[in-house]
Amino acid sequence: MKLFYSLLMLTWFGLQTSACSSPPPDPQLELHPAYTIVDQGTQSGLTLTKQLLIGNAADWQELWGVHQSNRRPPRLLPPIDFSKDMLIAVFLGEQPTGGHRVTIHDLVKTPTHLQVNIKIAAPDKDAMVTMALTQPYVIIKTLRTNLPVQFELYTADQ
């Protein structure tokens, strides 16, 4: 009888363990790269639609100058270490109202390229929005890579 109960308990523990555990992650798969949001908003001096990759200080300074050209006084240039990081900037261009927004959904590193998935949101037709020109943008910093960068745009409901 004791043996029966011991076996029963062992079976029960075995079942508990298998129910709670799950397989470890596949070593052939990897996580998406991390990034930091350097700047994001809806007011920019850059009024054109642009998707940019910035890899040096001169280009960054030039872009920041244009981006801050609608501000008095302009904000100071955020320092970036281009020896290890690069910048990805997305400007949505001038929009007729508020309610437009651009965000980075994620970065996906593949063997051939770095894909930047961009999510764009527009206000509903009957939404109450600010009646002002806006220039939504997002600038992020991520680890430098030699892979080509591809931009993919999605609308928020996709």
Partner 1 sequence: MSDDNETYTPINCDLHSQYELAIMHHTPLQVAWRDATGMQHVCTLLPLDLQTAHGEEFLLGQDHSGQSVRLRLDRISSARPTTMVPK
Whole-number Å distance between alpha carbons of 65 and 71: 10
Q: Residue from 2, 5, 30, 84 that binds partner 1 (CB under 8 A)?
A: 30
Residue 127 near residue 99, CB atoms below 8 Å: yes
Q: Residue from 18, 110, 146, 155 that binds partner 1 (CB under 8 A)?
A: 110
Q: Residue from 1, 3, 25, 58 that binds partner 1 (CB under 8 A)?
A: 25
Cis, peptide link before residue 73, omega less than 30° from 0: yes
Residues in the chain, total: 158
Based on the shown chain and the rule CB under 8 A, indicate whether residue 19 belongs to the binding site for partner 1: no
Residue 33 CB, nearest approach to partner 1 (Å): 5
Provide the β-strand partners of residue 69.
none
What are φ and ψ of residue 135, in 5° steps? -135, 75
Token pair 């992650």: residue: 25
Based on the shown chain and the rule CB under 8 A, indicate whether residue 111 belongs to the binding site for partner 1: yes
Based on the shown chain and the rule CB under 8 A, indicate whether residue 26 belongs to the binding site for partner 1: yes
Based on the shown chain and the rule CB under 8 A, indicate whether residue 28 belongs to the binding site for partner 1: yes
Please report, as ranges, the residues that interact with partner 1 according to CB under 8 A. Answer: 20, 22-26, 28-37, 40, 104, 106, 108-111, 140, 143
